[in-house]
Amino acid sequence: MYLEGDMLRVSSDSEIVVYDSANILTSNHELYKKSSADTEYLTTVPNFGENYLASNLDYVNSKTGERVPLAPRSRKFTTKNQGIRILAFGFIFDFAGNYNNTIVQSVERTVSEPWFQDAIRDRDVDLFLVIGHVPARSKEYTAIHRAIRAVNWDTPIQFFGGHTHIRDYKIYDSQSVALMSGRYMETIGFMSIEGLGTGRKATKGAAGLKFERMYIDNNLYSFHHHTQLNDSTFPTTHGLTVSKYIAHARKTLKLDSVHGCAPRDLWLFRARYGSRGSIYTWLEDNVLSDTVVDKERADKPRITIANTGAIRFDIFKGPFTRDTAFIVSPFTSTFRYIRDVPYDVAAKLIRLINNEEPILADAGATMPFSALRPPEQMSIVEDVVVEEMPLLDYDERVHGDQVRFGQHHGQGDEEPSLTPGYTTKDDLGDNGDDTLHTMASNYRVPNCIQGNASFPHNRAPDQVDLVFLDFVEPYILLALRFLGQEYSPKDVQSYMGNETLTTVITQWVERNWDTGC
């Protein structure tokens, strides 16, 4: 975000906003693990101090029971060059799956509290800045917008959103907008406000303010284009030093070690679930049924359930490295199981979890079962089917050229050869992507997938070990209760020790894909 001489740079998923040499951070929602909140409160927050904001998140000391704000609720600061006065907040969406050492207060309740109401009545503010792990189009941001406008109708508001991992831009009114900039640092979001003044010079009403946004593909081509530099002039001494540290860390962690060579691309959303090109079909047919097995229970029939949100990226044809494993499955969730579940009950779970969310919500679900899917799926209302040209092989993708910034690379009137990618349409239109792409297919996926193993020949088993990722446990227990089975957390045991989905995927790759890329 650029403010007339003052730089407020925003990362791809708006979790971190960098203002000059300071940072404003809002928390992610890995709060379902006790250690995540402990580390944030005891280590991260002290390191960043007032630059870490948590407007609706509290930390509970496990020893004393004391409830305190995880971090400052808000921060007011003045930009160095233009003297623009900014009041910033940091929110998380109404997350209900957190461990009991944190309390996420609903945004609607938070905006009615005295501290927030006092803050938004401050007339010595030129811009309200709302940063959050919250979608741009959400009831939470709508509540914040309404609360501010109820008492302060003319001060500009800039929202930065996250969580859904998409590019999006929403116009709330002539003085307030929201930007989301993609996922996993694939995108650098650029936001500008022209005409923003300070104090008596501040623009009141719509006249004079101009909002712009751009979604920049995160690669050196983009950086060279926008900085008007090249391979020789773009690098800085500081940047080269950081690159050396990164290279050293990658070598130390052996991130480039090859476990196997993927024979084809496996897609999250660009291939229909059930097809050969779907990463979820591959997981069901191979990893879950073959590699998720506790040696002590190997002969027991088992059903293994994993949520689709546990997978976060595609597998591309070519080297599958240690780095790839963490990119594809970055979580530390381990496997749990309930032994000797009646098969006729366990067999109904996957359909119930994937198709009967309203029924389960009525049964007491505190989080929607759709939260088991990747967050990008929130924006996919229906399948988008595009007849795509044959995809390039790995070497061609790595070493070939690409069309950048809407320029032709063909001869004469020949159309450029575009690659599938982001083709964004938002409240400002379809001109936000700085790099031209063709539209890619985008398919919906189920909440969970399932692999079966060790079943007897020609008949269904009487009982099965019901295995699942620990993140799915509360959903499994609720679905079992709905089916008349009174299982509790006391019935759940560890399965395969500390093995994670990341490690079992790696093990399957090592056994089944050769390394001769």
Query: Number of H helices and number of E strands within the chain?
Result: 15, 24
CA 248 from chain centre, in angstroms, equals 27
- Residue 394's pLDDT is 37
* Integer Cα distance of 288 and 306 in angstroms: 8
- Residue 400's pLDDT is 37
Q: What does R_g of the chain's alpha carbons equal in angstroms?
A: 25
* Integer Cα distance of 39 and 46 in angstroms: 10
- Residue 401's pLDDT is 38
8-state DSSP, 490: G
**Under 8 Å between Cβ of 125 and 155:** yes
Long-range CB pairs of 146-155, under 8 A, 24+ apart, other chains included: 147/111, 147/112, 147/116, 147/117, 147/120, 148/120, 149/173, 149/176, 151/117, 151/120, 151/121, 152/120, 152/121, 152/123, 152/125, 152/128, 154/204, 154/205, 155/125, 155/126, 155/127, 155/128, 155/202
- Residue 63's pLDDT is 85
Q: Give the chain's largest Cα–Cα span.
A: 82
- Residue 402's pLDDT is 42
- Residue 415's pLDDT is 59
* Integer Cα distance of 353 and 338 in angstroms: 17
- Residue 114's pLDDT is 98
On the CB side of 230, CA atoms within 13 Å amount to 1
**Under 8 Å between Cβ of 147 and 120:** yes
- Residue 4's pLDDT is 38
- Residue 388's pLDDT is 61
In the sheet where 57-60 sits, what is the strand order?
67-69, 57-60, 102-104
- The tokens for 500 are 């994670």
**Under 8 Å between Cβ of 67 and 57:** no
Which runs of consecutive H residues, i.e. helices, occur in 329-420? 343-355, 357-362, 394-399
- The tokens for 212 are 């712009």
What sign has the CA pseudo-torsion 397, 374, 133, 161?
Answer: positive
* Integer Cα distance of 395 and 25 in angstroms: 38
Rounded to 10 degrees, the C-alpha dihedral 321/326/329/333 comes to 130
pTM above 0.85, yes or no: no
**Under 8 Å between Cβ of 374 and 165:** yes
Burial code (b: 16+ CB inside 10 Å, e: under 16) for 177-186 equals bbbbbbbeeb
- Residue 387's pLDDT is 77
**Under 8 Å between Cβ of 168 and 159:** no
Which runs of consecutive H residues, i.e. helices, occur in 220-268? 220-227, 237-252
Count of other CB atoms within 10 angstroms of residue 411: 6
- Tokens 């991992």: give the residue: 165
- The tokens for 281 are 């079909």
* Integer Cα distance of 67 and 101 in angstroms: 9
- Residue 386's pLDDT is 87
Which helix H or strand E contains 143, and what residues bound it? helix 139-151
Q: Phi and psi dihedrals of 85, rounded to 5?
A: -95, 120
Which residue segments constitute the domains of the chain, with CATH numbers given? 2-218 (3.60.21.10), 255-378+443-512 (3.90.780.10), 386-436 (no CATH)
Find all residues with CB under 8 Å of 243, minimum gap 6, and list them. none
In the sheet where 463-469 sits, what is the strand order?
448-453, 302-307, 463-469, 334-342, 493-500
Q: What is the mean pLDDT of each run of 10 residues along the chain (517 residues)?
A: 42 40 52 88 90 93 91 92 92 89 95 98 95 94 98 94 92 95 86 79 62 93 94 96 98 97 96 96 95 94 97 96 96 95 96 81 72 85 74 39 40 66 93 92 95 92 97 93 93 96 97 91
Q: Residue 222, by phi and psi: left (phi above 0), alpha (psi -120 to 50) or beta?
A: alpha
